[in-house]
């Protein structure tokens, strides 16, 4: 708010000053300063100050005796003019320092466009409301336009350059006596020219343009800030003298033309001088900050300029060699061709050295030589041909090249070594891969990787072989991999995998898979879940081993164990040293000794002391590969009772044919012995009874034979006698057969005569 009020006050004050000095209409002066102040203020401090512009113009117009509507119309047009001008200047890259001709041209162009637009708008509006007569409108428009343009060219540059003075301070000369002399000359010139003190014999003594040399001097020597100030003072004094009806201005047009030409010329020359001064300063800064030596000579080879890097490189002091032939100072002796005149050398070798890089030996002031890289260019400065050489010390580069060559040799040697090592490593890697594949094949172990993001399963070669699939086939998806699992195991696989992923833990399970040939294989799967840096699971990696044979062996082992455990015979396993290592339930029942107590005990606890040597000898012979026939051996129970046992001792042989243990099958003969004894007793009794029967049969047959003999003697008839004799013979035959049968030990076979 404070800035708006200050701006409004400035507009009111400068408007009244302008009207008081030179009023050309009721609403303007020859230089309408508020326009220049408004444009500069909105450009420098932002368009947000437009209320201050509007307020100042409204107050100014009201103080001139116009109505409020007229004041608002004029204020709106002037504010719009300043607002649009500020926007255009900012958009077009205008710099307030006005150190470029571009800035002067942009300011002039924006001033013309915005002024013509605003004056046309305000004129037409005032004509429409009857404030201005239509026939006076062109004159009013011209007067207002000239006043606004003059203010922008005189007042705005002063504000721009003084606000941006920090950018101009280093390039101006405010601390010398020259500014004082300039001020005196400007004042004297204004008094002489505008006061009519020029002598009549001087050509154009009635022209105001004799002040231009002083303005141009200010522009060239002091830059845009002082040039704009000098132009404002000069044109202001011209207005003052014109208002007093003095000076060389015959008409108002002469005064306006002078203001325009002097201000534009002064600002343009100041921008050119400032730009050239900046270029000189940049060139000087480049020369002094350049790392390479820069040597400038004329065509004759005489030194014109050395930069600090050249002084340091050659060990020379510029004042000592300035204007002298440079060749003896920088070219080593003995190189006659290079000692010739630089003019002749350049003339003869113009196409070979100008604009190209040369490599040669150079010399310092102390006589030491060094390798240098030289680039030579030729330029014309104010009609004088100059030769500029850029010299760079190549000593670090040469040393670096030598070091690089050594490094290259070392690198090539190391590359050869590493190549040989790499070849050997690749060979070892191939061998390792081959061994790994063979090991996996022997162990029937394959690896896998499940990508949880892409849902792709990767299998190793051996796992493909276990599954009966082609390793060159496309990778399987997770769903395709699950289809290889036996349907009854799929739910369990998903549950275990989901639990492992959720807990970020390891997993292990046994599954059945269907091979391509429709055969079932049992796999033991072990794996773990891998996570990324944020702890999110990304993959499941692990291995799968074909345990089909082991599972079958375990099943057969379990069946064999059940068979052994359910056997009624005692089955005992011994080590080759005779230590008990297996003990079935029948053995525990037979000996009254539990398996935990028996296993690990010596075999001699199973027999009486007098039979221990027999058992040890049997075990030793079987371990040595001998076959032992079934035999009986007395054994002893835990309670000390002895019993006869039918023993079968055999060797336990591994797949390689080695004896790894002894097995013994025992059957208690006590019940059998008891039955055998009973049978023997029964047989003895039956034998005695049979002998008695045989004896009685024999006696009976003898009695019958005797009776028949008596009957033969009593028979008178020969036929009857013969019949009785035949019967007697038959009876005797039967007695003989019975005797043979009685005396025979084998009733199944009987030999007769």
For domain 290-393, give the CATH number.
3.30.450.20
Q: Which CATH number fits domain 568-668: 3.30.450.20, 2.40.70.10, 3.30.420.280, 3.30.70.600?
A: 3.30.450.20
Rg (CA), the chain: 68
Which residues of the chain are under the pLDDT cut of 70? Answer: 1, 21-29, 166-176, 198-206, 334-356, 382-383, 432-433, 435-444, 741-753
pLDDT at 607: 86
Residue partners of 589: CB distance under 8 A and separation at least 6: 570
Q: Are 215 and 262 in contact (CB under 8 A)?
A: yes
**How large is the angle between the packed helices 68-91 and 50-63, nearest 10 degrees?**
150
pTM of the model: 0.49
pLDDT at 83: 92
Nearest-angstrom CA–CA distance, 737 and 753: 10
Residue partners of 702: CB distance under 8 A and separation at least 6: 735
What's the angle, vertex CA 427, arms to CA 424 and CA 429, rounded to 5?
110
Closest CA to 299 of 378, 382, 376, 391: 378
Note the Cα 525 to chain centre separation in Å. Answer: 33
Nearest-angstrom CA–CA distance, 278 and 170: 10
pLDDT at 747: 56
The 3-state DSSP class for residue 423 equals: helix
Nearest-angstrom CA–CA distance, 343 and 387: 10
Phi and psi at 29, nearest 5°, equal: -125, 180
Query: pLDDT (tens digit, 9 = 90+) per residue, 277-317?
Result: 877 777 777 777 777 888 888 877 788 888 888 888 888 88
Query: pLDDT (tens digit, 9 = 90+) per residue, 429-463?
Result: 777 667 666 666 666 677 888 888 888 888 877 77
Contacts 24+ apart (CB under 8 A), 708-717: none
CATH superfamily of 444-552: PAS domain (3.30.450.20)
Nearest-angstrom CA–CA distance, 683 and 144: 167
pLDDT at 436: 65
| Paired residues of 663 in beta bridges | 573, 650
Q: Are 506 and 514 in contact (CB under 8 A)?
A: no
C-alpha distances in angstroms, 400 versus 358, 406, 412, 415, 552? 19, 10, 17, 21, 74
Q: Are 290-393 and 568-668 equal in CATH topology?
A: yes
pLDDT at 340: 46
Enumerate the domain spans of the chain.
1-163, 168-289, 290-393, 444-552, 568-668, 688-743
Q: Are 340 and 301 in contact (CB under 8 A)?
A: no
Specify whether domain 1-163 bears CATH 1.10.1760.
yes
Counting Cα atoms < 13 Å in the Cβ hemisphere of 547 gives 15
Q: Per DSSP, which regions of 5-159 are E strands?
A: 23-25, 28-29
Nearest-angstrom CA–CA distance, 116 and 104: 18
| Total Cβ atoms within 10 A of residue 140 | 22
C-alpha distances in angstroms, 370 versus 292, 308, 357, 404? 14, 18, 16, 19
Phi and psi at 521, nearest 5°, equal: -125, 145
Please, what is the end-to-end C-alpha distance for the chain in angstroms?
166
pLDDT at 349: 47
Strand 384-393 and strand 520-531: pairing?
unpaired
């Amino acid at each position: 708010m404070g800035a708006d009020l200050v701006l409004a006050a400035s507009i009111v004050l400068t408007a009244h000053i302008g009207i008081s000095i030179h009023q050309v209409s009721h609403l303007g002066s020859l230089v309408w300063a508020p326009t220049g102040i408004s444009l500069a203020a909105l450009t420098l401090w932002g368009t947000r100050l437009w209320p201050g512009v509007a307020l100042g113009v409204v107050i100014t117009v009201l103080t001139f005796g116009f109505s409020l509507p007229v004041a608002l119309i004029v204020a709106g047009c002037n504010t719009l003019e300043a607002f649009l001008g500020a926007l255009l200047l900012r958009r077009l890259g205008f710099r307030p320092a006005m150190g470029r001709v571009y800035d002067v041209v942009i300011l002039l162009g924006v001033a013309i466009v915005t002024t013509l637009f605003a004056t046309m708008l305000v004129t037409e509006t005032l004509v429409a409301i009857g404030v201005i007569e239509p026939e006076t409108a062109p004159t009013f428009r011209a007067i207002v336009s000239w006043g606004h343009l003059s203010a922008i060219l005189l007042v705005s540059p002063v504000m721009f350059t003084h606000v941006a003075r920090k950018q101009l301070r280093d390039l101006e000369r405010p601390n010398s006596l020259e500014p004082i002399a300039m001020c005196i000359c400007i004042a004297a010139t204004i008094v002489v020219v505008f006061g009519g003190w020029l002598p009549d014999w001087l050509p154009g003594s009635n022209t105001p343009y004799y002040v231009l040399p002083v303005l141009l001097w200010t522009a060239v020597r002091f830059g845009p800030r002082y040039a704009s100030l000098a132009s404002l003072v000069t044109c202001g004094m011209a207005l003052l003298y014109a208002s007093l009806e003095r000076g060389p201005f015959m008409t108002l047009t002469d005064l306006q033309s002078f203001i325009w030409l002097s201000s534009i010329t002064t600002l343009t020359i100041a921008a050119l001088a400032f730009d050239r001064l900046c270029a000189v300063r940049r060139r000087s800064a480049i020369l002094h900050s350049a790392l390479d030596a820069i040597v400038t000579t004329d065509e004759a080879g005489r030194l014109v300029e050395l930069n600090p890097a050249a002084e340091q490189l050659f060990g020379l002091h510029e004042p000592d060699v300035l204007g002298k032939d440079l060749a003896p100072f920088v070219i080593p002796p003995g190189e006659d061709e290079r000692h010739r005149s630089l003019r002749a050398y350049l003339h003869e070798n113009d196409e070979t050295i100008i604009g190209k890089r040369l490599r040669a030996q150079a010399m310092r002031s102390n006589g030491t030589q060094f390798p240098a890289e030289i680039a030579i260019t030729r330029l014309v400065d104010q009609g004088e041909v100059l030769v500029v050489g850029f010299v760079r010390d190549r000593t670090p580069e040469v040393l670096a090249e030598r070091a690089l060559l050594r490094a290259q040799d070392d690198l090539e040697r190391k590359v050869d070594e590493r190549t040989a090592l790499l070849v050997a490593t690749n060979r070892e890697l191939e061998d390792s891969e081959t061994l790994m594949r063979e090991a996996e094949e022997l162990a029937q172990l394959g690896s896998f990787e499940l990508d949880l993001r892409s849902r792709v399963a990767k299998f190793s070669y051996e796992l493909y072989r276990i599954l009966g699939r082609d390793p060159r086939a496309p990778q399987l998806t997770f769903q395709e991999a699950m289809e290889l699992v036996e349907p009854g195991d799929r739910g369990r696989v998903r549950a275990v995998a989901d639990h492992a992923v959720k807990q970020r833990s390891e997993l292990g399970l046994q599954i059945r898979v269907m091979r391509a040939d429709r055969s079932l294989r049992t796999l033991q799967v072990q794996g773990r879940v891998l996570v990324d840096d944020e702890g999110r699971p990304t993959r499941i990696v692990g291995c799968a081993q074909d345990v089909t044979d082991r599972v079958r062996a375990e099943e057969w082992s379990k069946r064999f164990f059940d068979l052994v455990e359910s056997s009624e015979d005692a089955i005992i396993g011994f080590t080759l040293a005779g230590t008990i290592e297996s003990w079935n339930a029948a053995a525990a029942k037979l000996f009254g000794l539990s398996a935990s107590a028996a296993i690990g005990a010596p075999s001699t606890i199973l027999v009486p002391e007098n039979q221990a040597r027999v058992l040890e000898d049997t075990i030793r012979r079987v371990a040595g590969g001998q076959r032992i026939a079934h035999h009986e051996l007395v054994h002893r129970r835990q309670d000390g009772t002895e019993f006869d046992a039918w023993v079968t001792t055999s060797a336990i042989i591994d797949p390689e044919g080695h004896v790894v243990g002894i097995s013994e099958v025992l059957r208690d003969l006590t019940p059998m012995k008891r039955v055998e004894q009973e049978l023997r007793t029964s047989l003895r009794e039956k034998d005695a009874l049979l002998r008695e029967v045989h004896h009685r049969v024999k006696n009976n047959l003898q009695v019958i034979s005797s009776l028949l003999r008596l009957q033969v003697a009593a028979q008178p008839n020969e036929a009857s006698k013969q019949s009785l004799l035949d019967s007697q013979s038959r009876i005797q035959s039967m007695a003989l057969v019975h005797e043979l049968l009685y005396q025979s030990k084998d009733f199944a076979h009987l030999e007769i005569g």
